[in-house]
């Protein structure tokens, strides 16, 4: 089994685990807890995901995110590349509003009063009540509908609240020069077949990134698809401080 098959298997397991894990990742549950001064498992997860991204990039997104998995499952139905650019900034606005609400709710509650990882999760299972099932189907149905209409991982581009925090972790690692997992490319070996770009689940122009010798992108999810599809092995994973873009 090659690396991409392993990745897809892990994503499939992530989807199957949603009846247990969904509320552990819920940003709404985080706000409900904050209103009572409670640190929930989902808030702990946000912090840990940013720390993980500092060292490994957005590996969570590419390998074990249930939401990303749902969208990739629908690639055969609509494999269209989605536009990025300024539209990608939408999720940063969402994250900023969420963070502001989080701070406000904790402040009104008198600060952090307790840590309760199982807050709002009956019996440790996310899907334990009719309301939880309704939330599950609305969330998954919304992601699926967006993917069927727009194409490759649109929610990851425009709606994911978690992505900005992981991107901040990646950016901090790069700026500080801390060793971390990242992509590197040898542009002189590139034959411009563009298979890397065609196979990127995040619709990035990887070929252009290779030619610029700048492999950092806030939207990269460290899935390794471009690494594995390249016939000349131009792109590779590397551990260390990321090289700066050469001056022209």
The domains of the chain are located at 3-167, 178-240
Q: What is the pLDDT of residue 247?
A: 40
Structure tokens that stand for 163 in this block = 């992505």
Structure tokens that stand for 193 in this block = 């077949």
Place of tokens 């899935």: 223
pLDDT, tens only, 38-60: 999 999 999 999 999 999 999 99
Banded pLDDT at 129 (limits 50, 70, 90):
confident
When the pLDDT of each residue in the chain is averaged and rounded to a whole number, the result is 94
Count CB atoms within 10 A of the CB of residue 19: 13
Residue range 178-240, CATH number? 3.30.70.20
The H-or-E segment that residue 169 falls in is helix 163-176
Banded pLDDT at 245 (limits 50, 70, 90):
low
CA distances from 29 to 24, 38, 65, 213, 232 (A): 8, 10, 18, 41, 46
Average pLDDT over residues 9-14: 95
> Taking a C-beta distance cutoff of 8 angstroms, is the pair 138, 130 a contact?
no
pLDDT, tens only, 182-217: 999 999 999 999 999 999 999 999 999 999 999 999
Hey, which bits of the chain come out as E strands?
Answer: 38-39, 114-115, 180-185, 235-240
């Amino acid at each position: 089994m090659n690396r991409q098959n392993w990745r897809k298997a892990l994503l499939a397991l992530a989807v199957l685990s949603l009846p247990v894990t969904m509320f552990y990742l819920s940003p709404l549950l985080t706000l409900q807890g904050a209103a009572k001064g409670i640190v929930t498992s989902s808030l702990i997860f946000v912090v840990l995901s940013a720390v993980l991204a500092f060292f490994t990039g957005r590996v969570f997104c590419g390998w074990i995110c249930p939401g990303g998995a749902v969208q990739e499952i629908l690639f055969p139905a609509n494999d269209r590349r989605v536009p990025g650019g300024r539209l990608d900034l939408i999720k940063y606005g969402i994250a900023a509003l969420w963070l502001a609400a989080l701070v406000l709710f904790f402040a009104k509650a008198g600060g952090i009063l307790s840590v309760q990882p199982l807050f709002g999760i009956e019996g440790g299972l996310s899907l334990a009540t009719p309301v939880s099932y309704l939330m599950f189907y609305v969330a998954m149905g919304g992601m699926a509908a967006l993917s069927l209409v727009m194409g490759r991982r649109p929610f990851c581009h425009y709606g994911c609240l978690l992505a900005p925090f992981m991107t901040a972790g990646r950016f901090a690692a790069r700026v500080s020069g801390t060793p971390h997992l990242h992509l590197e490319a040898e542009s002189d070996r590139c034959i411009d077949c563009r298979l890397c770009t065609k196979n990127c689940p995040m619709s990035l122009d990887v070929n252009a990134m290779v030619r610029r010798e700048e492999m950092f992108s806030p939207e990269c999810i460290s899935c390794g698809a471009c690494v594995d599809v390249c016939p000349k092995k131009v792109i590779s994973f590397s551990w260390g401080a990321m090289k700066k873009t050469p001056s022209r």
